Chain A
Amino acid sequence: MDIFGFISSNLEQTLFLTWEHIWLVGLSLFIATITGIPIGIAITKNKRIAAKILGSANIMMTIPSIALFGLMLPILAVFGFGLGKVPAVIALVLYSELPIIRNTYVAINNVDPALVDAGRGMGLPKWKLLKEVEIPLAIPVILAGLRTAAVMNIGIAAIAAYIGAGGLGVFIQQGIARSYEEMILTGALSVSMLAIVVDAGMAMLERAVTSSGVKLERKNL
C-alpha cells in the first residue's frame, strides 16, 4: 500500500479536504463556544434550570451522530437544507454544547466561595468579579471542555461526509465505495492525525492559559 504515493498525487485534494474539515469543526466550535459559555455561566445562578439544561444536553449526547443526521434531515429538508454543510454544522454545534456548558458550569461552581467573598469585599462589581476572579480560575476546566468537544467534533465531521458536508470523511466514503484501499487509509489516518494534533495543541493551550498562581497552588498540593 502506497499512502504517500496517493497523497502526493492527490496533494491538492488532500489539502482542500483537510482545510474543509478544519473549517467545519472550527466554525461549529466557535458557535458552540460563544453560546455555551454564557449559558454555562448563567445557569450557575439557578440549580433547577441547570439540572434541566444539563439533562437535555446529556440526552443529546446519547443520540448517535449518524442517527441525529438522519433525524434532522427531514426537518431541515423543509427549509431546503437537508444535505450539505448546514445540517453538519448544526449537529456539530449541538454535540459540542454539552462538554462546554457542563465544564463552564462545574468550573464556575467550584470556584472557592472565599475568593468570591474576598473580591466582593474589595468592592468589585458583579461583572468584574466574574471577569477577574471567577473566569480566570475556571478557564483551565472550560478549555478542557473545549478540547473534548474539538476532538469529538473531528470524528463526527468525518461521518458528516455521508450527508455531503465534505471534509476528510470524503476519502473514507469514496474509498469504501470504490474499494480503494490507499484512499481509505489516507482518510482514516489523516482524520486520526488531525484529532491527535488538535488534542495535543489544546492540552498545551490549557497549560499556557492557567494563571501562574493557580499552577503554583497545584504544585504545592
Chain B
Amino acid sequence: MSSTLAKLYRFILIALLLACGIAAERIGLVEYLSDPWEFEYLLLLIRQHIYLVGISISMALFTGLLVGIVVSRKRFRRYAGVVMYIVGLGQTIPSLAVLAMVMSFLGIGSKPAIFALFVYSTLPIARNTLAGILAVPSSYLDAARGIGMSPMRILFEVELPNAMTVILTGVRIALVINIGTAALGYLIGAGGLGDLIFTGINLMQPEKLLAGALPTTLLALAGDYLVELAGLVLIPRGLRLAKT
C-alpha cells in the first residue's frame, strides 16, 4: 500500500517537472533566457540579490548571536523575558511594513533595504540563540563548573554546542525570510530579483516574471540547504547521534 503511494509520489514529481519544462518553453522563458542581453541582466540582478542578502545576514548573524549570548549571561538573565517579548513583537510585524517604514525614514536605495533586512533577520537569530542557551540543562553547567572550566570555556564548549541545533534553526528561518524580503527590496530601489518579478507582473509578461521568480525560489531553497549543511559541521557528532 505505502510502496504504491511512494511510487505514485515519485511519478507525480517527475510529471510536475516535465510539465514545468513544457510550460517554460510555451510561455517563452527559454527564449527570454537565451537572449544574451537579458541573461546578462539576470546575472546582474542575481548578484545584487546575493549582495543584499549576504551583507544583511552577516550583520544579523553577528548582532543576533551577540544579543543572544549577552542576554543569556547571569547578570542580564532577568531581562531575558523582556527581550523575548520585544523580539516576538518585532517578528509579528510584516516584512513589507518594515521595508515601508524604513523607506519613509531613511529614503530609497540599497542601504535602507540592507538595514531593514538586517533588523528583520536579527530577530529570529537572537531569539533562537537566547532560547537555545537557556534550554541547556543546568546539570551540564554544574558539571562544567565542577571540572573547573572558566565561564568563557563553558560558553564555547558547553553552552553553544548544545544550543547549536536551535541556533541554526533560527539562522535558517532568518536566511529564508531574508531572501524572500530582499525580493521586495526592489520596491524601495535596492534592485535584486524583485525587479523582474514586479516588472513582469505590471507588464503581464510571464517569461520575465518567471525569470525572476524561479531564481528567487532556487536561492531560498539553496539557502535552506546551506544552513542544513552547516549543521553537519557545527553540530557536534555526539549530539547528532543522540537525536537519531
Contacts and interface: CB of A to CB of B under 8 A. Distances in A.
Interface of A: 1, 46, 48-49, 52, 59, 61-71, 73-75, 77, 82-83, 151, 154-156, 158-159, 162-163, 169, 172, 175-176, 181, 184-185, 187-189, 191-192, 195-196, 199
Contacts of A191: 94, 96-97
A184 B103 CA distance: 9
A205 to B, nearest CB: 16
Contact of B104 (A64, A75, A77, A181): A181
Contacts of A74: 23, 27, 206, 209-210
B213 interface: yes
A176 B216 contact: no
Contacts of B183: 64, 66-67
Given A59-B221, A176-B100, A187-B97, A163 B23 contact: no
Interface stretch (B64-72, B150-158, B197-205): B197-205
B147 to A, nearest CB: 30
B100 A73 contact: no
B241 to A, nearest CB: 20
B61 interface: no
Nearest to A152: B94
Nearest to A161: B96
Contact of B180 (A59, A67, A73): A67
18 contacts: A52-B9, A62-B176, A64-B176, A64-B217, A67-B212, A68-B213, A68-B217, A69-B197, A70-B201, A155-B94, A155-B97, A156-B94, A158-B96, A163-B201, A172-B100, A184-B104, A185-B101, A196-B89
A175 B206 contact: no
B5 interface: yes
Contact of A185 (B2, B104, B209): B104
Contacts of B210: 70-71, 74
Contact of A65 (B97, B180, B221, B224): B180
Contact of B200 (A70, A75, A199): A70
Interface string B185-197: 0011000001001
Contacts of B9: 52
B184 A66 contact: yes
B94 A62 contact: no
Interface string B60-87: 0000000000000000000000000000
A156 B159 CA distance: 36
Given A154-B94, A185-B101, A192-B93, A67 B197 contact: yes
Contacts of A162: 198, 201
Interface residues of B, number: 43
Given A71-B214, A155-B94, A192-B94, A176 B187 contact: yes
Contacts of A83: 201
B48 to A, nearest CB: 15
Contacts of B176: 61-62, 64
Given A52-B9, A74-B27, A188 B217 contact: no
Nearest to A65: B180
A175 to B, nearest CB: 7
Contacts of B92: 151, 192, 195-196, 199
B6 interface: yes
A162 B183 CA distance: 13
A175 B173 CA distance: 29
A217 to B, nearest CB: 21
A59 B216 CA distance: 13
Interface in B202-244: 204, 206, 209-210, 212-214, 216-217, 220-221, 224
Contacts of B216: 64, 66-67, 70
Interface-centre pick from A61, A83, A169, A192 (highest chain B CB count, 10 A) = A192
A188 B101 contact: yes
Nearest to B184: A66
Contacts of B103: 176, 184
A77 B206 contact: yes
A74 B183 CA distance: 19
Contacts of B110: none
A64 B192 CA distance: 14
Contacts of A52: 6, 9
Contacts of A65: 180
